[in-house]
Amino acid sequence: MKFKALICLIFWQVLALVSFGASGSAAVTCQLALKGARQEIQKNKFITNRSLENYSSRLFPSFRQRMSELKPNDLWIDLGGGEGRAAEEYLQSKINPLEAAQVYLITYVGRRSSILKRKIEIPSFQGKLKVLEGRFFEEIPDQEIPQADMITDFYGVLSYTGDLSLTLRKIFRHLKLHGELYIHSSNMVTSIETSNGVMSLTSFLKSLSGLQVEGQDGILKITKEQEEIKVPPLSLLSSGLNPVGFHRRFQLQEK
């Protein structure tokens, strides 16, 4: 079964490379692939309403405990949080919302679009829920997003962005020292070409210094262990759909 998925992946990667014009200059190819990545996000043909139980049972196991330990002055950012069901269920679980941590839901397409159409207010849980919707995370000025104790990215920005190095740098700037990043992605949706072969997102993250990376196959807990995390530049070579999801192929810019 795994072998079949691998064959499919190779086929779709070749197809994606061909369809995004390997013949053009590298810069043009990169622009086309970036545009393709953004169009995919705008189409929003995803599952966008996973429950808190779904997050808890599928993210790295310590997520459940970490979430239960969040204090009122802590900040949880749900990156690419979609309709924000998990965040809302977390806030609903508190009898008094003021006992909950502050939650930032950052998402390009989320619930506000559909809710505005129905003219229903999104509950703010006494100011505990802040929604930044309608912009790409990469373009939100740093001043608008405080540093977080915990960031989750459940098939969110990291699985779709066309600018992976910029996104990772920004995530680590918004994560406090000793803060935790929980990622749920798949090694099948991100490939990184290097002079030593192709790396997955998991192995790329494990190669960065200053991070403690636990987990495998895109289901990761990352603890930030030093203030500044250096992420080398990655340029987007191609993007397109494959049987597992939206696949992007990057190239590591080695010195």
Ligand X SMILES: C[S@@+](CC[C@H](N)C(=O)[O-])C[C@H]1O[C@@H](n2cnc3c(N)ncnc32)[C@H](O)[C@@H]1O
* Interaction pattern, residues 63-82, with ligand X; x per rule: CB under 6 A: -----------------xxx
Residue with Cβ nearer ligand X (58 or 71): 58
Cα separation, 129 vs 204, whole angstroms = 32
Instruction: Report the nearest approach of ligand X to the CB of residue 88 (Å).
Output: 11
Instruction: Report the nearest approach of ligand X to the CB of residue 145 (Å).
Output: 12
Stretch that binds ligand X, among 21-29, 45-53, 198-206, 223-231 (CB under 6 A): 45-53
Residue with Cβ nearer ligand X (138 or 214): 138
Using CB under 6 A, pick the residue from 47, 98, 116, 177 that binds ligand X: 47
Instruction: Report the nearest approach of ligand X to the CB of residue 98 (Å).
Output: 25
Count of residues that interact with ligand X, criterion CB under 6 A: 23
Rg of the chain taking only CA atoms, in angstroms: 18
238 Rama sector, left if φ>0, alpha if ψ -120 to 50, beta otherwise: beta
Query: Per CB under 6 A, which of residues 145..204 are in contact with ligand X?
Result: 154-157, 160-161
Stretch that binds ligand X, among 67-75, 133-141, 173-181, 206-214 (CB under 6 A): 133-141
Residue with Cβ nearer ligand X (194 or 244): 244
Instruction: Report the nearest approach of ligand X to the CB of residue 157 (Å).
Output: 4
Cα separation, 80 vs 46, whole angstroms = 11
* Interaction pattern, residues 22-41, with ligand X; x per rule: CB under 6 A: -------------------x
Q: Are 160 and 132 in contact (CB under 8 A)?
A: no
Instruction: Report the nearest approach of ligand X to the CB of residue 255 (Å).
Output: 27
Instruction: Report the nearest approach of ligand X to the CB of residue 41 (Å).
Output: 4
Cα separation, 220 vs 240, whole angstroms = 24
Instruction: Report the nearest approach of ligand X to the CB of residue 36 (Å).
Output: 13
Residue with Cβ nearer ligand X (104 or 155): 155
108 lies in the site for ligand X, by CB under 6 A: yes
Give the chain's end-to-end CA distance (angstroms, integer): 38
List Cβ neighbours of 12 (8 Å cut-off, separation of 6 or more): 240, 241, 242, 243, 247
What DSSP string describes 82-108? TT-HHHHHHHHT-SSGGGSPEEEEEES
Residue with Cβ nearer ligand X (42 or 126): 42
- Which residues here bind ligand X, judged by CB under 6 A? 41, 44, 46-50, 80-82, 107-110, 136-138, 154-157, 160-161
